[in-house]
Chain A
Amino acid sequence: MSTNLKNVFEASNARDFTSNQLVNEFIWTESFSELLYSTKNQVVLGSRGSGKTALVKMLSHQNLRKLANKHLSSSDKQERNNISEAKTIIEQRSLVATYVPLKVEWVNSLENYENSKDKYFIWSLNLATCARLIDTAKSCIDAYVEDEVDAVLVQRNVCKNLSRLWTLPRLINNFQELRRELEILEYEKNLMFNKESMGLTLTNEEKVLGMAFHGNLFSPFTIATKQISSALNIPDNSKWVLCLDEAEFLSKEHHQILNTHMRSANDIFFKITTMPYRHHTLSTTVNANVNVGHDLEYIYIDKLGTINKNQKSSDKIIQEFATKLFVNRLRQFDSDSTKTLETLVGHSKLAQDTNELVTDEALLVMIENHCNEVTYTRAKKLYKENIKKFDDELARKIRGILLLRDEYHNRIGSTNTSLYSGVAIISRCSDGNPRRLFRLFNHLLNGSVEELNSILPSVQSKRIKSFSHSELEVIKFEKSGKRSYELIKAIGSFFKAKTLEEKLGSDLPQAIQIQHSVDERVWAAIKSAVDLGLLYPVVKKDSNERSLFPEMEGVFCLANCLAPHFNLFPRVGRAVSISTVMNSTKVIEQMELFENE
């Protein structure tokens, strides 16, 4: 069966995935295990497209159950183990999670109710969490009540009890109607809040509408979970989890409210997703901050959570992920396809760690041509005395960069490099960001509707450069994106000059260091770039510490997806101060960053 490839790798948001799509494409990562097994509240930090939504959505009972029942066609041992773990969790009823997206349009609508903002926030969030709990309850009944008649009678009891607890106008006996009732209630309450904000008098009937959801935040949800536990014999030590997605849209005050609950809640655990610099505060509405490591922990999932690992391990994990994601998506469209990413793009020359590509002797010549005197002298010495040391301490680090630079300097006319090609480089250039991976696959296929035939390295390179350029360009359309764009351009141009124009040392810079003295606008641009996955923090510390994302300090590397655009080798290099970058004569023209817009 031929595959119409036009839409196969259309980048999509897990928010819009059906349950089946999510389960079929889901790849179990270490971050997911951390979410699944932790007994703490967690804040999941990740840049756009890094997979936050997919992770917390998969935690939900209905999706985890689907995963537990997934039929495996491949012989992947790890995947079998993962499915078995999911099955155990479902069977033992040890975790019951509900997924709740915090939609931007809802958050925006809070602005319409100036005097009732907090009241509306609590009411709406209570209703939203309870509405989603219905899906969880349904999934639990499907999982734990075998007999069909018993299942419908349990549903009846649960629904009637929830109708009473939530003070609904009538007793409802099935989930479909309960869902509909909450939808109508939400609509009517919106009208009421509108009326109130216009200064109109409310009737008593309007005031008591959805009264139960005016209570304490998460109380209606919590009491409902107890009802469901009782009806389904879910043990007391089971974890009820509330997954709140896209909390970056909430304000600082809202985060304070959520922090307060994380500090005090015992009945439910929270998994909240947001962007790296958008957990706005650790303060609460009482006189104590939420304690990182005690009340909550951070999980940083960029680069598939490999930010603390060495380059080799990180590359391996990201490459495995990329190849699996390619196959999983392709099989949604053609279940019989045997094509893999490797058959499409082949191996990467740039990432090969052997001297098959260029001999040590030829490499020494390149070092002489492109490196500084100190480096060349060291190279000669090592080459003469200890070839293994030459390879370990120098050649391995510098081979890829030299190849790029050599090709750049020896290019004829407008010929393109073929070095940005192959599985390893493509995986690296994705930065382990799933949505970026889909965009990259799409660029590689270039809107083709033909069969999946292998793509020439030169063609791959051209398309990856085009992809890299588009990843940078798109930032201009973000809020305050122009500043971030200018900053990234400045940083990229600086490193490009260092890599391609100046004589190379053995420890090439390709990261920036921020000190407290950095301009606030520059800092804002950096945070924005991190949120969008164009800069990544270089983190060596324990991810549970607040210092994971310190304020106005840190080391940041350029996203690998930008490397082809700036003719760089995708890597983390030595850090240089941001002021060195900004003061460089090469980037003086980017000084408009500091001008008022």
Chain B
Amino acid sequence: MYSSPYGSIWDSEEITVVGINSSARDSIETNVHHGSIALQDLNIIKEEVGKLDTKDKVKVLLTHHHPKNYTDRTFQDNDFSIMQNADAFLRFATSSEFDVIVHGHKHIPRFDIHSDSLNYPIVALSAGSFSASLKDYHNGVANFFHIIEVEGKCVTNDNILGKVTTWAYFDNNKWISASKDRDFISHEEFFGDIRNRKVLKKELKTDIGSRIASHGRFRWQILLGRKPELKYCNLGLREIVVTELCKEEGWEYLPMKNNDFLVVLEDSPQ
């Protein structure tokens, strides 16, 4: 990690983790600058990864700086979060079919799915900080920890299915579930189902519509019995789609516990 190619590989029976040190060129003598990964270092690491048998393993790529330029909600100073050669880094990730990218740096958690022309979706987690003191520096950002659970693989697309669960720490409340409104990451972020918005909307319109017609109401949990892969549909995407459908179709969305929800006809007596 501290000499070229500034990377390490941890390979075990079920998981392969590759770490790339984007802070390798930092020191007390250098000015603040972007993170960086040299292309030649990346090629060497790629070659090493290529030698491994990672066929049925979960593959995780770790680095420090941001491979993507996120919207900044902290301060207006110049931001050196994004790394040089980020595009090459991300290309390396998709071409080597990593399942998860985890990085840090800004201490503000974010969850996303990254994909490119190779069409391989990667879970991209910008992790919060477990132990740094953030109150004064980061306008009261909490401490976080995340658990990434891989529950299986999509039989069609071979990408991992699972969720990222996040907890936030506040002085008064200690560890509590993260919340999208407050922490920019939900307590549970599911990943794996790759239906896009249009496809999901079309499908749910039929599923919900037919259920309401026959039973007067629709419950998500019942649909999961028929289509279990929908469990891994991202909840944010799901909410957007269902909210839109409710508006268009005159339905009413009723959130329930444990990511469940009900849909009924608006103004129905129930």
Seen from chain A, the residues whose Cβ lies within 8 Å of a Cβ on chain B are 16, 18, 148-149, 152-153, 155-157, 173-174, 176
Contact = CB atoms under 8 A, between A and B. Distances in A.
A156 B270 contact: yes
A152 B256 contact: yes
13 contacts: A16-B172, A149-B219, A152-B254, A152-B256, A152-B262, A153-B254, A155-B254, A156-B264, A156-B270, A157-B270, A173-B252, A173-B254, A174-B255
A148 B254 CA distance: 12
Interface string B134-176: 0000000000000000000000000000000000000011000
B256 A148 contact: yes
Interface of B: 172-173, 217, 219, 252, 254-257, 260, 262, 264, 270
Given A152-B255, A153-B270, A174-B254, 4 more contacts: A152-B256, A153-B262, A153-B264, A156-B270
A148 B270 contact: no
Contacts of B217: 149
A155 B262 CA distance: 12
A176 B255 contact: yes
Contact of B254 (A16, A18, A156): A156
A9 to B, nearest CB: 16
B251 to A, nearest CB: 11
Contacts of B255: 152, 174, 176
Given A156-B254, A173-B254, A149 B172 contact: no
Contacts of A16: 172
A176 B257 CA distance: 12
Nearest to A7: B171
Nearest to A151: B256
B58 to A, nearest CB: 32
Nearest to A150: B270
A436 to B, nearest CB: 21
A152, A156, A173, A176 — most chain B CB neighbours (10 Å): A152
A16 B264 CA distance: 38
B269 to A, nearest CB: 9
A18 B172 contact: yes
Q: Dominant SS at the A interface?
A: helix
Given A156-B254, A173-B254, A176-B255, A148 B172 contact: no
A67 to B, nearest CB: 19
Shortest Cβ-Cβ A-B pairs, 6 listed: A153-B270, A152-B254, A152-B256, A16-B172, A152-B262, A18-B173
A134 to B, nearest CB: 15
B260 A148 contact: yes
A48 to B, nearest CB: 20
Contacts of B252: 156, 173
A153 B255 CA distance: 10
A11 to B, nearest CB: 14
A173 B260 CA distance: 16
Contacts of A157: 270
Nearest to B255: A174
Given A153-B270, A156-B270, A173-B252, A148 B173 contact: no
A148 B222 CA distance: 13
A149 B173 contact: no
A173 B265 CA distance: 12
Nearest to B260: A148
Contacts of B270: 153, 156-157
Contacts of B173: 18
A173 B263 CA distance: 12
A152 B264 CA distance: 11
Contacts of B172: 16, 18
A155 B260 CA distance: 15
B270 to A, nearest CB: 5
B129 to A, nearest CB: 20
A155 B254 CA distance: 9
A148 B255 CA distance: 11
B180 to A, nearest CB: 12
B87 to A, nearest CB: 40
B59 to A, nearest CB: 36
Nearest to A155: B254
Contacts of B264: 153, 156
A118 to B, nearest CB: 34
Nearest to A18: B173
A157 B254 CA distance: 11
Contacts of B257: 148
B135 to A, nearest CB: 15
Contacts of A152: 254-256, 262
A174 B173 CA distance: 25
B170 to A, nearest CB: 10
Contacts of A155: 254
A310 B264 CA distance: 64
Contacts of A153: 254, 262, 264, 270
Contacts of A156: 252, 254, 264, 270
A156 B217 CA distance: 14
Contact of B262 (A18, A149, A176): A149
Nearest to B172: A16
A152 B261 CA distance: 9
Nearest to A16: B172
A157 B252 CA distance: 12
Nearest to A148: B256
Contacts of B219: 149
Nearest to B181: A180
A154 to B, nearest CB: 9
Nearest to B221: A148
A255 B105 CA distance: 54
A480 to B, nearest CB: 31
Contacts of A18: 172-173
Nearest to A160: B267
B186 to A, nearest CB: 14
A174 B257 CA distance: 12
Nearest to B254: A152
A152 to B, nearest CB: 5
A522 to B, nearest CB: 40
A555 to B, nearest CB: 40
B208 to A, nearest CB: 15
Nearest to B262: A152
B247 to A, nearest CB: 13
A171 to B, nearest CB: 9
Contacts of A176: 255
Contacts of A149: 217, 219, 256, 262
A18 B252 CA distance: 32
A157 B219 CA distance: 18
A548 B202 CA distance: 72
Nearest to A142: B257
A153 B254 CA distance: 8
A204 B252 CA distance: 31
A148 B257 CA distance: 8
B173, B219, B252, B254 — most chain A CB neighbours (10 Å): B254
A18, A153, A155, A157 — most chain B CB neighbours (10 Å): A153
Nearest to B219: A149
B41 to A, nearest CB: 41
A60 B24 CA distance: 56
B225 to A, nearest CB: 15
Nearest to B252: A173
A173 to B, nearest CB: 6
A18 B173 CA distance: 7
Nearest to A17: B172
Contacts of B262: 149, 152-153
A363 B140 CA distance: 62
A180 to B, nearest CB: 9
A480 B157 CA distance: 74
Nearest to A154: B270
Contacts of B254: 152-153, 155-156, 173-174
